[in-house]
Structure 1
Amino acid sequence: MYVTTSLGQKLKLFSVILIPILITQISMYLMNIFDTMMSGQASAVDLAGVAIGSSLWVPIFTGINGILLAITPIISQLLGAKSNEKITEMVQQAIYLCFLLAIFVFIIGALLLNPVIEFMHLENSVTHTAKFYLIALGTGIIPLFIFNTLRCFIDALGQTSISMFIILLSLPLNLFFNYVFIFGKFGVPAYGGIGAGIATSITYWLVCIIACIVVHKLSPFRKFNVLIHWIKPSLQIWWEQLKIGVPIGSAMFFETSIFSAVTLFMSAYSTYTIAAHQAAMNFASLLYMIPLSVGMALTIAIGFEVGAKRFRDARVYGYIGISGGIFIATFAGLVIYFSRDIVAGLYNSNPEVIALTKQFLIYAIFFQFADAFGAPLQGALRGYKDVHVTLIMALVSYWIIGLPVGWVLANFTSLEPFGYWVGIITGLSCGAIALLARLLYLQHKFSKKDAYVKG
């Protein structure tokens, strides 16, 4: 990160930060797609087991990862304030917190995994695959959390291309281990869908090791010595991170879990409808990586400027994010509209499923339009460390507005399954409007503070 004095410089720096984050997010999402697709090549049972396991894991992982994301605005603001001596302490304490969060996930999993899977009344073979896929995946939780913390540290310094390199390196590794453990190669037994969990866990360990080597050996990370001269754990610093991270993680959990809830409600409809819903949602989620990446880049850029008390520059980055949201919405909408025939055909060959998928994809245009505004705005607010109001907005927009509206439309109008999508679109739109209002309020508040300081 460095100081910029013109709009052109800001756009250039923002692009340098954003593009590697975007590639990283898409690559990480592709890892999940590879697990699902390659398991499907083994058998339908393996595909179903991995799909169920993923639907249970993703909301939990997203929520925990949100807590870890708190380190990004903390470090960005310290960097902007030139308080480099505090950065090492914050990163080390965040790594300690990783172990605490991993233990929490292990305990929750031990208590709830069997009851939750049994509640679904799945076939025994699907239950077995889903359960042991999650157990295999669980062996990589600690390195995954540590890697995400180190990634936040790397990104907060503006070195997002390093994170991109690590993830791009992990993709072929994940494909190779999937090939070995799912299909049984090189003398290894064929574990099917469970093998996808084993492969992903091994990949998590490797990317964690690579990230540790990077921050220990390469400049500018090595000057912080985050992996040597360890200090004692500090409950006070943990609490500081949790005060920011828990609202971020909870907001992200509310957002991802609502899609799991909608999928559950979709079970009332035909198999073709469920398949079409999943296909359209899967493609929309891929496009969501674009606004999500813009939001993450905004957190870094705005956090850096707020830490240096350059509030006018922070406001300019906010406008860049809003403008980016408009561009993204237009771009993604055109992609969905003109490629919906091709996309629907990629997921299934059944004519009825293809027709339903194309209908869902039309709703996805409006769905991603709301997301393209909301995700950058959330990232901008995180840069100001404004997370508590965002949490309330997420709860209200997704669960108090979105899901009830969707349920009413699905059950009492001719929209039927499409009603749930209209409900989510309604909730996302309300949330985006509220987030915009909150950002404009904060910008005005800090502008007055800036004027007072200069006056």
Structure 2
Amino acid sequence: MRAALRSSYFSEMNGGTMKRTYTYKQKTLQFFAVLLPIFITQLSIVSIGFFDTIMSGHAGEQELAGVAIATNLFFPFFNSSLGIISGLTPSIAHLYGANEKGKIRFIVQQGFYWALCLALIFIIAGFALVTLLVPILNLEPRVNYVFTHFLLAIACGICPIFLSAVLRNFIDALGFTRLTMCITICTVPINIFLNYLFIFGSWGFPSMGGVGAGIGSAITYYINLLLNVLVVTNIKPFKDYHIFKQFPLPSLKEWKRQLSIGIPIGSTIFCEQSIFGAVGLLMTVYGTVVIAAHQSALNFTTMVYMIPLSISMALTILVGYELGAGRYNDAKKYSRLGRIASFIFATSIATTLINFRMGIASLYTNDPSVKAFLSIFLMYAVCMQLSDGINAPLQGTLRGYKDVKITFYLAVLSYWLLGLPIGWILAVQLKLGPYGYWIGLIAGILSGAVLLALRLKVVEKKYLKKMTGSC
């Protein structure tokens, strides 16, 4: 019997989509089959900001500070907006697991409508916020110029990348995470090449410093959209959904249904990431050297965070798929598997950070003063990675259950009502300076992990009771 099940499983997996699994070995194989492409995709996405910061840093200390402050402000809002769009993933995964494929096309098409509206709101609100912040930050003239013009340049790529995100969530929710991986990988060398042209000036292009990084990123976002469109319109099974044919009228009822899932997810991401933005702004009182070191450390930890984040996204897909098919026990097993894998990865990364922090610091800057602060901040990042390794998979599992509202409230509590106040007290009142804020960040993430673990137990009990009652 076991041999027959294994044979059936492997023949299904060769089809490239998610299939029912029967043993832990099969679940592990399918988990990593979904996870690894997501990880490479997320790493490629965040590497755009990574290379923007790295390459700007080698153009000068002020270029690094300007781009670092800009990305620190931009990416919390940017990623939370993409988080809203990611609400499509559990919805599509549930429909796919329930074999209700006819409804998927309508959901994706409506997603285009409201994602475009979201992009326009993002751009307008961004201009208003930057105008408000410029006099408050009181930055050095060159740093201020890079900060404002980087944001102006990258804003030109918001609409295409938001539309691209709709397609990416559609592809991922069907289990074809390797395709989105390939698409995103293709854009990374393009972004590096464009950064080289516009930051340093070459082949007749002007040397624009940190501002050039924003231009390169915006162009890369357009290329990403083009590649996603080509995949969806030319490759099976996606082209069978006819996503770009016979667009229906906008449905506010469907928008409300989708956004009821997406907005709490995006708001939770904003709570998590905006606290880093708030701390970054509070760090400006310590001078350009500390700003550059702090933002560089956060930039690296963001890269490393892609491991637990990818596990979280894989769990959302797999748990949503199993729940849509009515297989509660399988969903619970995937959740357990993801949490174990996340903690193992986080421990490994923490060990690497401890042993190679000076080498990592050298990637960002040659300035001895910046490097000294950066190497210390990376030690705090060790604790942060361990906390993220517990927190992220719990979030992904809860999103698979479509339990998103309570997790948003827990994020507000842990990050803004616990983490930030603790950081401020340690930094200002107890005179720990910038290190106090790092301790506060760690406290927020760790407290969030505890609260999410408690919430997951409640949700699992409710779902089990519902399943038992329906039987």
The 3-state SS of whatever aligns with 2:99 is coil
Residues 24-79 of structure 1, C-alpha deviations (whole Å, 9 max, x = no match): 11111211121222233444443333223212211110111111010000000010
Contact 2:113 2:250 in 1 (8 A): yes
Deviations 1:259-300 (A, max 9, x none): 111122223335544444333323222211100000000000
What is residue 228 of structure 1 aligned with on the other side? 245
Following superposition, the deviation at residue 194 of structure 1 comes to 2.3
- Correspondence 1:265-284 to 2 at 5 A: 265-269=282-286, 271-284=288-301
Contact 2:57-2:364 at 8 Å conserved across structures: no
Cα deviation per residue 1:376-429 (whole Å; 9 max; x = unaligned)? Answer: 111111111100011001101000000101111222336432221221211111
What amino acid sits opposite 1:263 in the alignment?
A: G
Aligned residues: 454
User: What are the residue-to-residue correspondences of 1:414-453 with 2, within 5 Å?
Assistant: 415-453=432-470
Distance 1:432 1:343, change over 3 A: same
In the other structure, the counterpart of 1:61 is 78
**Displacement of 1:121 after TM fit?**
1.6
Relative to structure 1, is the Cα distance of residues 130 and 415 closer, same or farther in structure 2, using a 3 angstrom cutoff? closer
Question: Residue 104 of structure 2 corresponds to which residue in structure 1?
Answer: 87
- State the partner residue of 1:109: 126
Cα separation, 2, equivalents of 1:449 and 1:4: 23
Q: What secondary structure sits across from 2:326 in the alignment?
A: coil
**CA shift for structure 1 position 87:** 0.2
- After superposition, residues 221-370 of structure 1 pair within 5 angstroms as 221-269=238-286, 271-351=288-368, 353-370=370-387
Give the equivalent residue in structure 2 for 1:390.
Answer: 407
Residue aligning to 1:99:
116
Question: Is 1:136 equivalent to 2:129 in the alignment?
Answer: no
Q: 2:182 aligns with which of 145, 158, 165?
A: 165
Does 2:66 align with 1:49? yes
* 406-415 vs 242-251, greater mean Cα deviation: 406-415
The 2-side partners of 1:67 and 1:149 are apart by 10
* 1:153 match: 170
Within 5 Å, give how 1:372-387 maps onto structure 2.
372-387=389-404
Contact 2:61 2:292 in 1 (8 A): no
Q: Distance in 2 between matches of 1:187 and 1:341?
A: 36
Q: Which moves more between the two structures, 202-211 or 32-41?
A: 32-41
2:427 counterpart residue number: 410
Instruction: Name which of 196, 212, 234 aligns with 1:195.
Output: 212
Shift of 1:15: 0.3
Moved more, 105-114 or 205-214: 105-114
The runs of at least 4 consecutive aligned structure 1 residues that moved more than 6 Å come to none
Give, in angstroms, the shift of residue 355 of structure 1. Answer: 4.2
Identity of aligned residues (%): 43
CA contact (8 A) 2:65 2:288 kept: no
Greater Cα shift, 420-429 or 186-195: 186-195
Report SS of the residue matched to 2:248. coil
Q: Which residue of 1 aligns with 2:45?
A: 28
Task: Supply the distance in 1 between the matched residues of 2:341 and 2:164 (Cα, whole angstroms).
Answer: 28
Normalised to the residue count of structure 1, the TM-score between the two structures is 0.95
Rounded to whole Å, the distance in 1 between the matches of 2:116 and 2:283 is 36
The alignment partner of 2:214 has SS state of: helix
Separation in 2, partners of 1:209, 1:52: 30
- The separation in 2 between residues aligned to 1:390 and 1:271, in whole angstroms, is 36
Structure 2 gaps of 5+ residues are 1-17
Offset at 1:138? 1.3
Matching of residue 74 in structure 1 with residue 91 in structure 2: yes
Alpha-carbon deviation of 1:311? 0.9
**Cα distance between partner residues in 2 of 1:352 and 1:118:** 27
Letter in 1 for 2:285: A
3-state DSSP of counterpart to 1:139:
helix
- Map of 2:33 onto structure 1: 16
CA–CA separation in structure 2 for the residues paired with 1:203 and 1:267: 30
Q: 1:367 to 1:197 in 2, by over 3 A?
A: same
- AA matched with 1:201: A
User: Offset of 1:195 from its aligned partner?
Assistant: 2.1
Q: Which residue of 2 aligns with 1:213?
A: 230
Q: 2: CA distance between counterparts of 1:271 and 1:196? A: 20
Unaligned runs of 5+ residues in structure 1 are: none
TM-score (norm 2): 0.92
**What is the one-letter code of the residue matched to 1:170?**
T
Give the Cα–Cα distance (whole angstroms) in 2 for the partners of residues 409 and 392 of structure 1. Answer: 24
Amino acid at match of 2:114: L
Worse-superposed segment, 4-13 or 156-165: 4-13
CA displacement at 1:343 relative to structure 2? 2.2
Alpha-carbon distance in 2 for matches of 1:271, 1:130: 13
Instruction: Quote how far apart the aligned CAs of 1:241 are.
Output: 1.1
What's the C-alpha RMSD, in Å, of the aligned pairs?
A: 1.8
CA deviation digits over 1:79-110, x for unaligned, max 9? 01111000000000001111111121222134
SS in 2 for 1:215: helix
CA distance in 1, matches of 2:212, 2:301: 27
The answer for the alignment partner of 1:119 in structure 2 is 136
On the 8 A contact 2:69/2:295 being kept in 1, the answer is no
Give the structure 1 partner of residue 12 of structure 2. none
CA distance in 2, matches of 1:87, 1:20: 22
Q: Go from structure 1 to structure 2 and tell me whether the alpha carbon gap of 1:6 and 1:345 turns closer, same or farther (over 3 Å shift).
A: same
Q: Pick closer, same or farther for the CA change 1:341–1:187 going to 2, 3 Å.
A: closer
CA distance in 2, matches of 1:136, 1:275: 21
